[in-house]
Amino acid sequence: MSWLDRLKTGLTRSTAKLGDSLAGLATGNVPLDDARLDEIEEALIGADLGPAVAGRIRARLADAKFARGIDAPGLKAAVAAEVTAVMAAVAKPLAVTAFPRPHVILVVGVNGSGKTTTIAKLARRFTEQDYTVMLAAGDTFRAAAIAQLKIWAERIGVPVVSGEQGADAPGLAFEAVKAAREAGTDVLIIDTAGRLQNKAGLMDELAKMRRVIQKLSPAAPHDTVLVLDATTGQNALNQIEVFRDVAKITGLVMTKLDGSARGGVLVAAAEKFNLPIHAIGVGEGMDDLRPFEAADFGAALVGN
C-alpha cells in the first residue's frame, strides 16, 4: 500500500468515530440551524479535536453558503479543510542542520509511548537519507530500554553508546556527544528516562543532561522531541504540558494512531500548543513512521 493508504487504514478507528458522526448530522436540503451546528460541534469535541478547533469548524459551517444545508461529503470536506489548515501550520519534518556535527536529538516521553522504537525508526530514515547516525541509551533507569535500543541499533547497523542500568545518564550523554563528534557522525539520537511519577527527579536529570551536552556543543540539543501515544487521548495534552516545562520540547511525534479511535487529539494538540509535528506512526513496521503531512492527515481523519 502507499503511505496514504496505510494512513487511511491506520486511522480507521478514528475515522469511524468522527466520520460516522458527521454522516449522521448532514442535512441535505435542510438548512444548517443552530441546533444542528451545536450537534456537529459536540461530535467534533467527542472525536477529541478539542473545543477550539470544533468552534472554528462550527463557525465555518455557519457561513451563509450552507444555508441550504450540506450533504455528508460536503460536511466531511469542510471539516477536513479546517483540520488541514490547523495542521499545516505545524507540519515540520526533522531536518539535520547543525554545524559542526553532530546534530543532537533528545527524545523524551513516558514509558510505553513507543519512544525506543520511534528512535529506531528515525535512525532508519536518517540513514536512508545518507546521514551517519549514532544512538545513546540514556534511559539508564530501565535495563529493558538499554537492551531494546541495542537490538534496534544492531538491526539498523548503527553504533550505540550505552552503560549499565543505573549509570549516570547525563554522563552517558556527554560521552555519546564526544564519541559522535570524534567519529564525525551526522546525527546523534539520545534516549531518556520517562518516569513522570518523579517529575522533580526527571527535571533535574534532563537539565543536567542539557548542561553537560552543551559543554561540548553549546547549541545542543538541536531538537527535543516528545513521543506521544495516540491511545492515551486527551492525556496526551497533559503530557505535552509537563514535558514542555520539564524538557523544553521543540516538537512532537505521535505513535500508535492505528490502535486508537482518538487520533483527533493530534489536532487539539496542534491548536493548543503550536509545536511542530515531525512525524506520525500507524504501525509497528520500520516504514510505518513517516513525516507528517497536514492534507493527508486531514483527509484520512474524516475518511475522504
For the chain, first and last CA: distance in Å?
17
Phi, psi of 172 (to 5 degrees): -65, -40
Predicted confidence (pLDDT) per residue in 1-50, tens digit: 677 788 888 888 888 888 878 888 888 888 888 998 999 999 999 889 99
- Residue 192 assigned as binding residue: yes
Residue 155 marked in a binding site: no
Calculate the alpha carbon distances from 146 to 102, 135, 157, 238, 266 in Å: 22, 11, 16, 27, 29
256 is in an annotated binding site: yes
List CB contacts of 295: < 8 A, sequence separation 6 or more.
Answer: 84, 88
- Confirm whether residue 257 is marked as ligand binding: yes
Asked whether residue 138 is marked as a ligand-binding residue, the answer is no
What's the average model confidence in pLDDT over 78-106?
95
Mean pLDDT, range 92-110, rounded to an integer: 96
Give the global pTM. Answer: 0.93
50 contact partners, CB below 8 Å, separation of at least 6? 264, 265, 267, 268, 271, 272
Confidence of residue 147 (pLDDT cuts 50, 70, 90): very high
Question: What integer pLDDT is reported at residue 5 of this predicted model?
Answer: 84
Q: Which residues contact 110 (CB under 8 A, 6 or more apart)?
A: 194, 196, 229, 239
Between 70 and 122, whose confidence is greater?
122
Pairing of strands 103-108, 160-161: unpaired
109 is in an annotated binding site: yes
111 is known to lie in a ligand binding site: yes
- pLDDT category at 214 given cuts 50, 70, 90 is very high
In terms of average pLDDT, the best of 23-37, 42-56, 61-75, 280-294 is 42-56
162 is in an annotated binding site: no
pLDDT of residue 30: 83
Quick one: average pLDDT of 244-252? 91
pLDDT bin (cut points 50, 70, 90) of residue 291 is: very high
Predicted local confidence at residue 49, as pLDDT: 92
Q: Is 68 annotated as a binding residue?
A: no
- Reduced to 3 states (helix: H, G, I; strand: E, B; else coil), residue 281 is strand
Instruction: Give SS3 for 255.
Output: strand
Is 27 within any annotated ligand binding site?
no
Q: Does the annotation list 242 as a binding residue?
A: no
Give the chain's length.
304
List, for residues 220-247, the tens digit of each pLDDT value. Answer: 999 999 999 998 888 999 999 988 888 8
The span from the CA of 116 to the CA of 118, in Å, is 5
193 is in an annotated binding site: yes
pLDDT tens digits, 177-213: 999 999 999 999 999 988 765 677 877 888 899 999 9
